[in-house]
Amino acid sequence: MHPFTKILKTYHGNEVANWRHRLNNQKKIELQPGDIQHLENLEKRGWTVIPSQFNASDLEEIRTELDRAFERTELPIWSDDEGADHRLFGFDSISEKAKQFHQFADSIRILSSYTRIPISFMTTMGGRIKSIEKNKGSGGGWHRDTAEFRQVKSIMYASPIDLNNGPFQYVDGSHIRKNIPTYAKYLKKDWNERRFTNEEVENLCNQFNLKVSTLVSSPGEIILVDTSGLHRGKPLETGTRYALTNYIWNHRLIPPHIRQMIYTP
């Protein structure tokens, strides 16, 4: 197949599926004051930060629950080769706090207004990552979750975060559709390449004057992000990072490699 035909097929195939899903699941979303600013941040930059009701003691409870869960050998815990990163998908079904995060209406409203696609499936991943030597950070280095369509997530750190213990990083504006193939072409990659080295990201930022944002949010704040943009969890130099992440799918079937990891009691 000609590469151009391939791009058209992949890209438009996804867009057609999106429109079909929108038509079949039309629901009017009532925006709240402040939403417009968050939607503008998502459109322009690819991320925004919203307040939540979670306080320091809620976060402490989440950390304790995560530590306990990672001890439970009957649960489908994922961990990386280095033993730095532990994850449990479906944490919302064993933790009341995670369930509240999962159902948090402000995140759902803003993210589905942004994608203009009703959310049809969501699971909460509870994660703990330690500063073991040579850890790659959460997500395993710079990447896009998808290149073909907008994909969104919400993330809440459950421990105090600083520049050294693994904050989320994002190349502002790298989710903007029309630029995705331009950046890939400059790096001599396929238009929908998803993995990037540190050096490639540095080159892109210099060439196209892009800025890397490091999201050091306050306890309990929630990051809403379009993960089709370039992002990573910064590799940790010290400490341990706890976080909850909502994985969200629209009409698309949840990928089998994730589905099989989700804990259902």
Choose the contact partner of 101 out of Fe ion, ligand AKG, none; CB within 5 to 8 A by kind: none
Instruction: Answer yes or no whether residue 102 interacts with ligand AKG by CB under 6 A.
Output: no
Instruction: Answer yes or no whether residue 233 interacts with ligand AKG by CB under 6 A.
Output: yes
Q: What's the rounded Cα separation, in Å, for the pair 187 and 164?
A: 29
Q: Which is nearer to Fe ion, 135 or 227 (CB)?
A: 227
How is the chain split among helix, strand and coil, in percent rounded to 5?
Answer: 35, 20, 45
Instruction: Answer yes or no whether residue 144 interacts with ligand AKG by CB under 6 A.
Output: no
Choose the contact partner of 149 out of ligand AKG, Fe ion, none; CB within 5 to 8 A by kind: none
Number of residues in the chain: 265
**Least distance from C-beta 12 to ligand AKG, angstroms?**
25
Instruction: Answer yes or no whether residue 80 interacts with ligand AKG by CB under 6 A.
Output: no
Q: Which is nearer to ligand AKG, 30 or 254 (CB)?
A: 254
Choose the contact partner of 245 out of ligand AKG, Fe ion, none; CB within 5 to 8 A by kind: ligand AKG
Instruction: Answer yes or no whether residue 139 interacts with ligand AKG by CB under 6 A.
Output: yes
Select from 20-28, 79-87, 104-112, 137-145 the region that touches ligand AKG (CB under 6 A). 137-145
For residue 132, give the nearest of 29, 3, 235 by alpha carbon: 235
Residues that bind Fe ion (CB under 5 A): 139, 145, 227
Instruction: Answer yes or no whether residue 45 interacts with ligand AKG by CB under 6 A.
Output: no
For residue 27, give the nearest of 153, 115, 103 by alpha carbon: 115
Identify the burial level of 100 via C-beta atoms within 10 angstroms of its C-beta, where 0-12 means exposed, 13-18 middle and 19 or more buried: middle
Q: Which is nearer to ligand AKG, 18 or 228 (CB)?
A: 228
Q: How far is CA 7 from its chain centroid?
A: 24
Q: Please count the residues of this chain forming the interface with ligand AKG, following the rule CB under 6 A.
A: 11
Instruction: Answer yes or no whether residue 128 interacts with ligand AKG by CB under 6 A.
Output: no
Q: Are 205 and 171 in contact (CB under 8 A)?
A: yes
Within 10 angstroms of residue 171's Cβ, the number of other Cβ atoms is: 24
Q: What's the rounded Cα separation, in Å, for the pair 129 and 120?
A: 29
Q: Looking at 58, 153, 159, 196, which residue binds ligand AKG (CB under 6 A)?
A: 153
- DSSP string for residues in 3-45: HHHHHHHHHHHHHHHHHHHHHHT-------TTHHHHHHHHHHT
Q: Looking at 60, 61, 145, 221, which residue binds ligand AKG (CB under 6 A)?
A: 145
With tokens 């998502």, the residue in question is 42
Instruction: Answer yes or no whether residue 97 interacts with ligand AKG by CB under 6 A.
Output: no
Q: Which residues sit at the interface with ligand AKG, rule CB under 6 A?
A: 138-139, 145, 153, 155, 168, 227, 231, 233, 243, 245
